Every structure is written in C-alpha cells, then in structure tokens.
Amino acid sequence: MNPQPRKVGVVGLGLIGGSIGLDLQSQGWHVQGLVHRQVTAERALARRLVNQVSTEPACLADCELVVLALPIPLLLHPNPSLVAALPPAAAVTDVGSVKQPVLDVWSTLHPRFVPSHPMAGTAEAGVEAGLHGLFQGRPWIATPNSSTDSAALEQIEQLARSLGGQWLTADAAQHDQAVALISHLPVLVSAALLRAVGEERDPAIRQLAMRLASSGFADTSRVGAGNPALGVAMASSNTDALMRGLAAYRWSLEQLEEAVLNRNWQQLEEELKRTQALRPPFLASPVSGLSCEESGTEDPAGS
C-alpha cells in the first residue's frame, strides 16, 4: 500500500501560490488550496493548481505545512478565522517581499511561523499566472529571529530547496533595506521617469518622444507602470527603508545634475565610469531586474 501523501496548504493561488501548488503536486504532495472566492476555486481546480480547494479556512486542519501566499496587507492584518484554523503543529511561512513587519505580527500568532521570501516571478498575476519551475535557481530567503522554531525553519528550507530555490537567511531589517534598494526604489524611480516624460508640457515634444521611444525607455520605465495598489502596499509596509533608499538616490542624482549644470564633463564621465563598473555584480544575480510585482509576492493572490 502506498503511504498517504504529505499535505500542504497554500493560502492564495496567484502567481506564487499557484506555482508552488503545481510543483509540489509533481513531487507527490497533496496540495490543499484556500481562496476567498468560489469562482477562483473553480478556476484553480480547472488549471490543476491544487488537488483540493476551499473557501473555508477549516480545510487546513490536517496540513503539516502551510504557505501564506497573500499580499502584504492581508499578512499584516490577517483574517482571524485563518489564524485560528492554522494547525499549531504545522510549519507556516509567508512569501511577502517585506519581512520585519510580517515577522512582528506573525511571531505572536503562530508558534512555528518562519518568514520567507522567494525572489522569483513574472509580470503576470492572479489564478491564471501559476506555472511550473518558477523558483528554479532563484533566491529564497528566510529571516528568522532568535525565537523562530529551528525545526520549522528546516522544513521551510527543505520546501524551498525542493522547488529549486537557492536558500539563504538574513536579518529581517537587512532584507527589507536590500529589497528597498533593488526592488522598491526602482518602482518609484521608474514612476518619476514616466511622469517627467508623460507630463511634458509641449504636446508636440511629448508626441515625438512617444514615437521615438524604444527598448531603452521600455527597460527603464517598465517597473513604474505596475499595479498602483501594489506600489502603495510596498511603500506603506517598508517606508523607513524606502526613504533611506530615496535619500541615497536623490544624493546620487544631485551629483550628476551638478556635473551637467557646471558643464563639468570630466566629472560626468568619471561618474558614469563608476556606475558602469557598479552594474555587473548585480546582473550576476538571478533576481536582477525583478520588481516586487514581478517577484510575485505582492500578487493579488488568486483570491
């Protein structure tokens, strides 16, 4: 007789949750999905994201592991019925792109909670977005503190590695500052660029710019055109780290502005040589270029 498959609960079946469900099923897990709407549940079953799906939190009762694939606002203000339904013996993790606020909330709500963040994704969202192999070769970072259950941490590490993730751990505050710099700050910088161009006062120049825009503009403006609600959630949950990043960016921009204003072309060339040398190490990371939306963690969660 074959042994009963291990059971994992996935709360939210958007890009991250749906992809986790697909990959874990292929490894023999029984995946129990939990979503908010019946229409989402039906579509999740049609796409075979899970083995079973429900809109009732009680469905998680016999899960040995639970993944909270929810947007940051729902992690910071969780539904009490969800919290009550989580099995005390289960290892529980989230996939949010901000860790310190989530850790602060959930460390008091569940004894085996492990904050984590898979840095992987596409620009797609919702129940149609899940796909196989999303986490292969991508960083999956956990931010435990001194009270984090070590056995639960090991379970989440095994989960991440089984999905192809490159496991690492860090302090939650350090994680949030790093993500502010490489993911959250670029969204606002890109948004500012779109405003500067899109709100050009001379309509003839604006129209000409639209006709001339090519891959360079597409690359630098892409992350500023994401879901506005996700941008607000990002900024409101990681405000201090984002403000530090904005201050550093503003200072750097002022150095470039000063060189141009003073027609100091030698200084400008030196600045650009410096930035040219700074870029390659970041491109060596498999996560380079992903915004928080594209990392899937602020996904509407296929609710």
Whether residue 132 is predicted with pLDDT greater than 50 in this model: the reply is yes
**Residues of the chain above pLDDT 90, percent:** 82
Q: What's the mean pLDDT in 250-261?
A: 96
Mean pLDDT over all residues of the chain? 91
Give the pLDDT band (50/70/90) at residue 89: very high
Whether residue 256 is predicted with pLDDT greater than 90 in this model: the reply is yes
- For 148-170, write each residue's pLDDT tens digit: 999 999 999 999 999 999 999 99
Angstrom distance (rounded) from CA 167 to CA 158: 9
**What pLDDT sits at residue 137?**
93
Domain 7-171 has CATH 3.20.20.120: no
Strand-pair partners of 94: 68
Instruction: Spell out the residues 6+ positions from residue 96 whose beta carbon is closer than 8 angstroms to its own.
Output: 70, 71, 72, 75, 102, 115, 117, 297, 298
Give the pLDDT band (50/70/90) at residue 121: confident
**What pLDDT sits at residue 283?**
81
Q: For every residue of 185-251, which 3-state class applies, written as one string?
A: HHHHHHHHHHHHHHCCCCHHHHHHHHHHCCHHHHHHHHHHHCCHHHHHHHHHHCHHHHHHHHHHHHH
Whether residue 125 is predicted with pLDDT greater than 90 in this model: the reply is no
Q: What's the mean pLDDT in 109-118?
A: 97
**What pLDDT sits at residue 120?**
87
Class of the CATH-defined domain 175-283 = mainly alpha
Reading the block at residue 48, the tokens are 């075979």
**What pLDDT sits at residue 15?**
92
**What pLDDT sits at residue 303?**
64
Angstrom distance (rounded) from CA 148 to CA 164: 23
Angstrom distance (rounded) from CA 257 to CA 206: 22
- Domain definitions of the chain by residue range: 7-171, 175-283
